[in-house]
């Protein structure tokens, strides 16, 4: 059962929000660049790749591909989190938990500015 969301409207001053927005945008650009590099380093994307490898070379390619996939997926999740936080800034909902509607602790936002849930709701989500 979903909890009742509070209807409180909180607007942070633009002098507070602008640095957070800039930080999130810079982080988003960095992650996209890193993700592109990781995908480009995937051995399966190498045009010079031969299908007649020795067992050791084939194993190295498999491990390299797996490593690239795991890192790219992790970065994709982070990119989604950053985009979500930026959208919440635009909507005026930044700092409010998307699950319960209560304010997210400022210490949490200082550590994870992309956070869209309070600690309690995040714990429930992960359990």
- 55 belongs to a structural domain: yes
The CA distances from residue 74 to 45, 57, 71, 100, 106, in Å, are 19, 26, 5, 26, 25
Domain identity same for 87 and 100? no
Range of the domain at 38: 14-94
| Same-domain pairing of 58 and 83 | yes
Please indicate, yes or no, whether residues 88 and 109 belong to a single structural domain of this protein. no
Distance between CA atoms of residues 13 and 5, nearest Å: 23
Report yes or no: 78 and 31 within 8 Å, Cβ to Cβ: yes
Total domains in the chain come to 2
Domain match, 99 and 82 both: no
Instruction: Please tell me the distance from the alpha carbon of residue 46 to that of residue 24, in angstroms, as a whole number.
Output: 32
User: E strands of 3-125, at which residues?
Assistant: none
pLDDT band of residue 76 (cuts 50, 70, 90) is very high
Please report how many Cα atoms fall inside a 13 Å half-sphere around the Cα of residue 92, on the Cβ side.
6
Query: Longest C-alpha distance within the chain, in Å?
Result: 64
Q: State the average pLDDT for the chain.
A: 86
Do 58 and 106 have their domain in common? no
Confidence of residue 6 (pLDDT cuts 50, 70, 90): very low
- Does residue 102 share a domain with residue 90? no
Same domain, 111 and 89: no
pLDDT at position 50: 67
Same domain, 99 and 87: no
In a domain, 2, yes or no: no
How do residues 17-49 score in pLDDT, each as one tens digit?
A: 899 999 999 999 999 999 999 988 888 887 777
The answer on 110 and 57 residing in a single domain is no
Q: Both 87 and 70 in a single domain?
A: yes
- Domain shared by 18 and 76, yes or no: yes
Residue 34: alpha-carbon gap to chain centroid: 13
């Amino acid at each position: 059962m979903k909890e009742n969301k509070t209807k409180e409207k909180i607007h942070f001053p633009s002098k507070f929000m602008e640095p957070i927005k800039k930080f999130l945008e810079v982080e988003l650009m960095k992650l996209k660049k890193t993700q592109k590099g990781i995908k480009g380093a995937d051995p399966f994307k190498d045009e010079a790749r031969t299908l007649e490898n020795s067992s050791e070379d084939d194993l190295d390619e498999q491990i390299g591909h797996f490593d690239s996939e795991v890192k790219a997926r992790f970065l994709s999740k982070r990119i989604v989190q950053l985009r979500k936080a930026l959208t919440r800034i635009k909507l005026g909902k930044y700092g409010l938990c998307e699950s319960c509607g209560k304010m997210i602790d400022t210490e949490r936002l200082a550590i994870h500015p992309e956070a869209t849930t309070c600690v309690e709701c995040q714990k429930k989500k992960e359990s």
